[in-house]
């Protein structure tokens, strides 16, 4: 009987135009944004060296080829020399045919790799840099970040121990697809907030609005199965909506970027991360965070709509959550609040939040936000579901 009720809830859900519009937007948002990014690939070229206006896709392909050319090389003195020599060649001003691959190659001068080294060097000047200086600067930058967030000595030692497990010098790996997919997953986390606000409140409100609650509540199966079916339908719908976005990110990225780099260290995405897992694992972790976000958002929206018998408070709550996550900055002195901010449902699918250095401490052990969030979400969801069920059981039709 439960699955019959679940099927009935999905049937009611997909009768609404707003739900279909939400699904269509979710399906198209990632392809459109990625295609726009590919069409207008961000290229900044010194006007002295020439202009590549209107050739964005060609530049993107050239950048990918250069990255693949360097992939597998240790980021050591020889690697830095290659980048520096290529930069010198591009500055000579040698005349190349602007339609030739050589023009794009030297005018860009291994732009992706140079940008990576620039970040790894703490966003500092890389001229004349040695590998020893590069890795020392990286370590100092990470320690400065730990100090900025007022981490205790235990947390610092934990992060340092994690980073010490990473093999150095790093091996440069081409992994552009996973950066793009992670961005798509993060966008999926934002879209979930809108989907929750628009689609979920009606699951409870619809029965009261159409007066079918009298029939539902008086059935022999009582309110327990009905409540369970409604909460399950809400969670499954949002999970499916998020997975739709994630899958579209993979499908649209593959033809352009390929899938090389699944086993590349996560430091190829962000050189300042201390953990020792792969780029492919980051995609799986962030996808897991998106699913966890879908569950807790479905519970929050359903409970608010059940308690208020209105969808407006849900929309306001989701808007405030989204605005707070993107506009409000929490100072490091507020240690508890800044950690809770990282696991805000609208934020957790972002790698900056999921892999934040603001560790959670429990029973003398340290956990990243992506490890703590599912446990906290589960506990909060359980409490909210119980509160909602208590109210649902006591509700009397008019």
Can you give the C-alpha Rg of the chain in angstroms?
25
In a 13 Å sphere around the CA of 133, the CA atoms on its Cβ side amount to: 12
- One domain, residues 326 and 186: yes
In angstroms, rounded to a whole number, what is the distance separating the alpha carbons of residues 40 and 61? 13
Q: For residue 126, what is the enclosing H or E element?
A: none
In angstroms, rounded to a whole number, what is the distance separating the alpha carbons of residues 297 and 38? 32
Q: Is residue 197 part of a domain?
A: yes
- One domain, residues 21 and 108: no
Q: Residue 45 — φ and ψ, nearest 5°?
A: -120, 135
Q: Is residue 336 part of a domain?
A: yes
- One domain, residues 256 and 390: yes
Beta bridge pairs of residue 278: 265
Residues, the chain, total? 398
- One domain, residues 329 and 367: yes
Domain count, the chain: 2
- Backbone conformation region of residue 334, classed left if phi is above 0, alpha if psi is from -120 to 50, else beta: beta
- One domain, residues 262 and 357: yes
- One domain, residues 139 and 186: no
Domain boundary among 164, 183, 218: 164
Displacement of CA 377 from its chain's centroid (Å): 17
CB atoms within 10 A of CB 96: 16
In angstroms, rounded to a whole number, what is the distance separating the alpha carbons of residues 26 and 31? 10
- Residue in the structure block whose two tokens are 């081409």: 174
Tell me the whole-structure pTM to 2 decimals.
Answer: 0.88
In a 13 Å sphere around the CA of 330, the CA atoms on its Cβ side amount to: 19
Domain boundary among 164, 195, 217: 164
Domain of residue 195, residue span: 2-37+174-394
Domain boundary among 110, 140, 164: 164
Low-confidence ranges of the chain (pLDDT < 70): 37-56, 89-107, 206-222, 395-398
* Tokens at 354, concatenated: 């999921």
Q: Residue 74 — φ and ψ, nearest 5°?
A: -65, 140
- Backbone conformation region of residue 43, classed left if phi is above 0, alpha if psi is from -120 to 50, else beta: beta
Q: Are 342 and 328 in contact (CB under 8 A)?
A: no
| Nearest CA among 336, 334, 337, 340 for reference residue 353 | 340
- One domain, residues 139 and 59: yes
Strands (E), 159-297: none
CB atoms within 10 A of CB 155: 18
Q: Is residue 311 part of a domain?
A: yes
| Nearest CA among 178, 191, 184, 180 for reference residue 294 | 191
pLDDT one-digit tens code per residue, 275-309: 999 999 999 999 999 999 999 999 999 889 888 88
Q: Is residue 169 part of a domain?
A: no
- One domain, residues 201 and 148: no
Predicted pLDDT at 48: 38
pLDDT one-digit tens code per residue, 89-140: 655 555 555 556 666 666 677 888 988 999 999 888 778 889 999 999 999 9
* Tokens at 388, concatenated: 């909602």
Beta bridge pairs of residue 360: 367
- One domain, residues 22 and 85: no
- One domain, residues 103 and 17: no
End-to-end CA gap in the chain: 26
- One domain, residues 362 and 238: yes
- One domain, residues 17 and 159: no
């Amino acid at each position: 009987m439960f699955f019959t009720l679940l099927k009935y809830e999905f049937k009611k859900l997909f009768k609404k135009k707003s739900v279909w519009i939400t699904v269509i937007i979710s399906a198209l948002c990632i392809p459109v944004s990625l295609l726009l990014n590919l069409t207008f690939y961000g290229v900044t070229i010194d006007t002295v060296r020439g202009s590549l206006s209107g050739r964005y896709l060609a530049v993107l392909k050239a950048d990918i080829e250069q990255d693949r050319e360097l992939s597998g090389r240790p980021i050591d003195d020889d690697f830095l020399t290659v980048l520096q020599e290529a930069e010198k060649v591009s500055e000579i001003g040698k005349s190349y045919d602007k339609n030739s691959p050589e023009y794009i190659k030297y005018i860009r001068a291994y732009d992706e790799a140079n940008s990576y080294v620039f970040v790894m060097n703490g966003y500092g000047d890389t001229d004349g840099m040695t590998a020893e200086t590069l890795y020392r600067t990286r370590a100092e930058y990470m320690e400065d970040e730990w100090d900025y967030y007022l981490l205790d000595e235990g947390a610092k030692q934990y992060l340092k121990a994690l980073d010490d497990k990473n093999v150095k010098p790093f091996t440069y790996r081409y992994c552009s697809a996973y950066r793009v997919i992670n961005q798509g997953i993060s966008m999926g986390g934002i879209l979930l907030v809108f989907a929750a606000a628009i689609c979920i409140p009606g699951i409870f409100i619809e029965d009261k609005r159409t007066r079918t609650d009298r029939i539902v509540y008086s059935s022999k199966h009582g309110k327990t199965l009905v409540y369970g079916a409604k909460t399950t339908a809400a969670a499954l719908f949002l999970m499916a909506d998020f997975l739709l976005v994630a899958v579209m990110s993979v499908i649209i990225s593959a033809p352009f970027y390929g899938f090389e780099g699944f086993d590349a260290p996560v430091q190829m995405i962000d050189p300042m991360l201390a953990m020792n897992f792969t780029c492919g694992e980051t995609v799986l972790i962030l996808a897991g965070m998106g699913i966890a976000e879908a569950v807790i958002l479905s519970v929050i929206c359903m409970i608010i709509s059940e308690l208020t018998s209105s969808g407006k408070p849900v929309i306001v709550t989701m808007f405030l959550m989204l605005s707070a996550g993107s506009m409000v900055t929490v100072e490091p002195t507020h240690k508890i609040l800044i950690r809770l901010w990282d696991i805000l449902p609208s934020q957790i699918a972002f790698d900056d939040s999921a892999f934040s250095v603001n560790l959670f401490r429990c029973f003398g052990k340290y956990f990243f936000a992506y490890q703590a969030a599912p446990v906290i979400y589960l506990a909060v969801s359980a409490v909210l579901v119980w509160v909602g069920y208590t109210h649902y059981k006591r509700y009397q039709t008019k």
